[in-house]
Structure 1
Amino acid sequence: MRVAIAGAGNVGRSIARELLANDHRVLLIDRDPGAIKPDSVPGAEWLLADACEVDSLEEARIDRCDVAIAATGDDKVNLVHSLLAKTEFAVPRTVARVNHPSNEWMFDEVWGVDVAVSTPRLMCALVEEAVTVGDLVRLFSFRGGRTNLVEMRLPTDSPIVGRRVGDLAFAGEAVLVAVIRDGVASSPQTDAALEGEDELLFVVNPDAEMELAEYLAPGVHRERVANEDDVDVDPER
């Protein structure tokens, strides 16, 4: 697989090293001469150019790439690069870094972004995942938010504790993709029974997240909703 990475800073170079370690071909693009450091990522191709210019992307032969990654520290650059890669060069898959959470809403298919990676949101999700039981935590969004990867640490009093995975019909056609028990992840087995404190990872449509949460932990879910409804919001504040 050939991957183009716009932005040869610390983030871009780290991504490049991981991809090279997995036997992919990588091209790093940056307009700052100081960022061009071939010795820092042996095996990568390098191009001193503006990743938001059509001529530069033609020179990079980005149309021959399977993936275009926008990894700069500037959200505007990441959006423009993704849009050009998708609409002008028909790159099959685009991944864009979101630097500021307030801009996250723009990183969708309209701007040519297949996958948006928001570091602040991801860190917040990981904190929630570590400390909450019975709450559905969104870890990642795919394809402009139409499908999400979510996680729940199963409460011990969940109605599905002790039941076989094969006997369960998860709400909203959610797909159980992994069960983490005692820190060890495994693919869900039809005959395996779920236990309290299991961490369950699902791929689910965002519209079905609340229904899934109610199915997995109805008591916790209803209590949280009730508490939210009881909050007295002062419109002057």
Structure 2
Amino acid sequence: MRIAIAGAGAVGRSIAQELVADGHQVMLIERDRAHFEPHTVEQAEWVQADACELSSLEDAGLQLCDVVIAATGDDKVNLVVSLLAKTEFAVRRVVARINVPSNEWLFTKAWGVDVAVSTPRILSALVEEAVTVGDVVRLVTLQQGQANLVEITLTEDTPLAGTPVRDLALPRDAALVTILRGGRVIVPTPDDALEGGDELLFVAAQDVEREIRTALGY
């Protein structure tokens, strides 16, 4: 897969290194000479250009990319890159980094964004997930807000211990997709029973998150 990354700062380079290691063709586009360091990801193609300029993207061959990742530290730039990638180059998948949480509402399909990744939101969710028991923690927003990946950790003395998954009175727009138990990752079947301390991962519509909590007795 050919992937273009706009922004070769610490985040862009880290993403590039991971993708190269997985066997993808990666092109890093960077305007700032201070961040133009091809030796840091030698297997990637480096282009020194302004990713907000249509002609620069044409010269770089963005139309040949399967995925574009807008990973700069400037939300305005990431939005412009996303819009150009989708509308001018028909890139199939556009992923954009959100730096300022208050800008999250802008990162939608109207701006060409297929997947928006908010670093502050992810970090706060991970902190909540680490310290919160018995409450719903939203980890990732999917499909532009239509659904979320949420987590809830059962208390050790939960009355649901021994209850099979099929007996959970979950709301209609919620699905239990994974149970994390110790070092195990369990894809639940109707006959699997819950245990105290289980971390439950759901894909759910935002408006039923409270109902999930109620169904689990919290």
- With the shorter chain as reference, the TM-score category is over 0.9
- Determine if contact 1:109/1:143 at 8 Å carries over to the other structure: no
Answering whether residue 142 of structure 2 is matched by residue 142 of structure 1, we say yes
Q: What count of residue pairs does the alignment treat as equivalent? A: 218
- On the 8 A contact 2:70/2:97 being kept in 1, the answer is yes
Q: 1:200 maps to what in 2? A: 200
Corresponding residue for 1:7? 7
Bigger shift: residues 34-43 or 181-190: 181-190
Which residue in 1 is equivalent to 2:171?
171
Name the CA shift for 1:159/1:62 in 2 (closer, same or farther; >3 Å): farther
The answer to whether structure 1 residue 133 and structure 2 residue 139 are counterparts is: no
Tell me whether 161-170 or 176-185 shows the greater mean CA deviation: 161-170
How much does 1:159 deviate?
5.5
Q: Which residue matches 1:117? A: 117
Q: Give the secondary structure class of the aligned counterpart of 1:90.
A: coil
% identical equivalent positions: 61
- Normalised by the length of structure 1, the TM-score is 0.86
TM-score by length of 2: 0.93
Is the CA contact 1:172–1:205 (under 8 Å) kept in the aligned structure 2?
no
How does 1:177-192 map onto structure 2 within 5 Å?
Answer: 177-192=177-192
Matched residue, 1:42: 42
Say if 1:94 and 1:114, in contact at 8 Å, map to a contact too: yes
Q: Determine if contact 1:160/1:216 at 8 Å carries over to the other structure.
A: yes
The equivalent residue for 1:83 is 83
Paired with 1:143 and 1:173, the residues of 2 have a C-alpha distance of: 14
Tell me if structure 1 keeps the 8 A contact 2:8–2:30: yes
Residues 126-156 of structure 1, C-alpha deviation per residue, up to 9 Å, x if partnerless? 1111111111100011221112111000235
Letter in 2 for 1:206: Q
C-alpha displacement at 1:64, in angstroms? 2.0
For 1:187 and 1:108, how far apart are their aligned partners in 2? 31
In structure 2, relative to structure 1, the CA distance for the partners of 1:207 and 1:64 (3 Å cut) is farther
In structure 2, distance between residues paired with 1:214 and 1:190: 20
**RMSD across aligned positions (CA):** 1.7
Q: Which residue matches 2:28?
A: 28
Report the more deviating stretch, 182-191 or 81-90. Answer: 182-191
Could you tell me how far apart the structure 2 residues matched to 1:88 and 1:200 are? 41
Q: How far off its partner does 1:30 sit?
A: 0.8
| Partner-residue secondary structure (3-state), 1:214 | helix
Native 8 Å contact 1:137 1:150 kept in 2? yes
Larger deviation, residues 149-158 vs 72-81: 149-158
How far did residue 186 of structure 1 move?
Answer: 2.6
C-alpha distance in structure 2 between counterparts of 1:192 and 1:44, whole Å: 45
Unmatched tracts of structure 2, length 5 or more = none
SS at match of 2:172: helix
Residues 210-232 of structure 1: CA deviation (Å, up to 9, x unaligned): 22222123xx3xxxxxxxxxxxx
Letter in 2 for 1:185: V
Please give the secondary structure, in 2, of the residue aligned with 1:195.
coil
Per the alignment, in what secondary structure is the counterpart of residue 172 of structure 1?
Answer: coil
> Could you tell me how far apart the structure 2 residues matched to 1:65 and 1:143 are?
22
Residue 112 of structure 1: how far off its partner (Å): 1.4
Unaligned runs of 5+ in 1: 221-237
